[in-house]
Amino acid sequence: MAYKHDYDKILTRLTFILSRLNDGEALSVKELALEFNTSDRTIQRDFNERLVSFPIYQENKKWKMQDGYRVEKTKSLEDELVLDIIEKITESIGGKFATKSHQLLSKIKNQDYNPIYAKLNIEDITDKFSEIQVIETAIKEKTEIECSYDDDGHDIYKTTIQPLKIANYEGFWYLIAIREDTLKKYYLKNISNVNATQTKFTTDAKLENMLENSISIWFQKDVEPFEVKIYVNKIAAKYFQRRPLPTQSIETLGQDGSMEFVVKITHEMEILPIVKYWLPHMRVIEPQWIQDMIDEDLEIYLSK
């Protein structure tokens, strides 16, 4: 969990980036990383996650604001940016959380119209707030928790775990934790009876880096990442330029608008659903065995 000064730095950086895009500039990730003395990955995350609600896109390794769109410049640009993003994120979560957030935000916002629209399709976890508060404190203090877990109806058991991160993948919430020296991913809404303990634990930077670079909940802890080379035609290429996958690096850009890029994964299921989603506009070049799995699944599907 970031401290207050970390959030202040992020907000300052986002406002600066948005203002320059608003002025029509084309911004480079590497140049911004040097300017703010941070990593390329951090700046890429700004564009891919923190500014995803704005109509920005990547072209020739430069980020731009879409033509015809401008954010109204006021002295309170920073405040409006924060409030608009918060409101749209909470709307996507829905439920009591969204209702309560809207009530609070309406007391401090000066305008009824919000130019930002974000459809994040995130499941509502307001019924788990009490458990989340205990988990969040345990993550910050690096203390173990005791809880019950419903293994999707197969079994309900009590366990003691070391909570690392509360993460959202594809709209679903998970608790990433260590149990008996093994990395586990628990579906957050299936966790109950959470109790704090006084037992401390430690984590390493390698694990934090692995979580940062994960594409989906299928990532593995003790597996050496391997490269997957992918081809996308012009229909799909623009989407992977606008919002690159974690660890994505472009190999070639074709004159026909196609693209070849490489990503690093630890489990084939990190990339298989993505390729299948984009069929027939996407295929795996290397390793061949992943493309063979896709071909086999397609043959089974077509035979039925």
pLDDT, the chain, mean: 82
Structure confidence at residue 74 (pLDDT): 41
Q: Which CATH architecture has domain 226-303?
A: 2-Layer Sandwich (3.30)
* C-alpha torsion angle, residues 7, 80, 172, 261 (rounded to 10): -80
Q: How far is CA 219 from CA 212, 215, 216, 240, 254, in A?
A: 11, 7, 6, 20, 30
Name which CATH class applies to 126-203. mainly beta
pLDDT of residue 271: 95
Q: In angstroms, rounded to a whole number, what is the distance separating the alpha carbons of residues 285 and 299?
A: 19
The better pLDDT of the pair 82, 23 is held by 23
Residue 42 has pLDDT above 50, yes or no: yes
The reported pLDDT for the residue numbered 75 is 40
Cα separation, 12 vs 18, whole angstroms: 10
Q: Is the pLDDT of residue 3 over 50?
A: no
pLDDT, tens digit (0-9, with 9 covering 90-100), for 240-295: 998 899 889 999 999 999 999 999 999 999 999 999 999 999 999 999 999 999 99
Q: How does strand 143-150 pair with strand 56-59?
A: unpaired
Are β-strands 27-28 and 62-65 bridged in parallel, bridged antiparallel, or unpaired?
A: antiparallel
- Whether 189 and 142 have beta carbons less than 8 Å apart is answered as no
Starting at the edge strand found earlier in the chain, the sheet holding 182-187 runs: 182-187, 172-179, 156-169, 143-150, 191-200
User: Per-residue pLDDT tens for 150-163?
Assistant: 987 678 889 999 99
Peptide bond into 225 cis (omega under 30): no
What's the mean pLDDT in 212-240? 90
Residue 162 has a pLDDT of: 95
Task: Please report, rounded to a whole number, the percentage of residues in the chain having pLDDT higher than 90.
Answer: 41
Distance CA 253, CA 193 (A): 52
Residue 175 has pLDDT above 70, yes or no: yes
Cα–Cα distance between 62 and 58 in angstroms, integer? 5
Q: Is the pLDDT of residue 10 over 90?
A: no
pLDDT for 97: 56
Domain boundaries in the chain?
Answer: 4-65, 126-203, 226-303
Using the predicted structure, report yes or no on whether residue 111 has a pLDDT greater than 80.
no
CA atoms within 13 A of residue 26's CA, in its CB half-sphere: 7
Whether the predicted pLDDT of 87 surpasses 70: no
Domain 4-65 has CATH 3.90.1300.10: no
3 state SS for 268-295? HHHCHHHHHHCCCCEEEEECHHHHHHHH
User: Angle, to 10 degrees, between the axis of helix 95-106 and the axis of helix 77-93?
Assistant: 160
pLDDT for 53 equals 67
The answer, yes or no, to whether residue 178 has pLDDT greater than 80, is yes
For 239, how many CA atoms within 13 A lie in the half-sphere containing its CB? 10
Q: Is the pLDDT of residue 73 over 50?
A: no
Return the pLDDT at 78: 58
pTM for this one?
Answer: 0.59
Q: What is the pLDDT of residue 262?
A: 96
| 3-state per-residue secondary structure call for 22-81 | HCCCCEEHHHHHHHHCCCHHHHHHHHHHHCCCCCEEEECCEEEECCCCCCCCCCCHHHHH
Mean per-residue pLDDT, 16-20: 84
Residue with tokens 């989407």: 239
- DSSP SS3 for 5: helix
pLDDT of residue 2 exceeding 50, the answer is no
Phi, psi dihedrals of residue 59, rounded to the nearest 5°: -145, 125
